[in-house]
Amino acid sequence: MEVILPFMQIILSFCNICIFGYAFFKFMGKPHTDLETRVEQTEFEIREIKNSLLKGNDRFREQENINEVLINSVLALIEFEVHYCETEQKPISKNLEEAKDNLHRFFARNRRIL
């Protein structure tokens, strides 16, 4: 028994040193682990932001298409009304003529719409 006791103390001391060494390396690695976690969270948030921007861009494209259709429809209605007034030999109202002129001026300035 007296021979085993010093041998067991050496083993327990070695195990304690190993446990303290493991705890020390875990403690020293904590900032690195925290930094990795923060980087992963940031990358995830960036991906979400990019996806939401792409969805927003799609919505703007849809809105541009809707605007183009509405503008073309309004122009067609104005042209129809002007043509109707001319064929029925009725006077064209000043507001209708102004609306037509304003629309044509707008298209002359912003050619990218049509």
* pLDDT tens, residue by residue, 33-90: 888 889 999 999 999 988 888 777 777 778 888 888 888 888 888 888 888 888 888 8
| Secondary structure element (H or E) that encloses residue 48, with its range | helix 4-87
Distance CA 84, CA 100 (A): 14
**Is 112:90 a contact under the CB 8 Å cutoff?**
no
Taking residues 5-20, report their average pLDDT.
89
pLDDT score recorded for residue 42:
94
| 114 has a pLDDT exceeding 60 | no
Structure tokens at 92: 């064209």
pLDDT tier, 111 (very low <50, low <70, confident <90, very high otherwise) = low
Residue 56 DSSP symbol: H
- Supply the pTM of this predicted model: 0.46
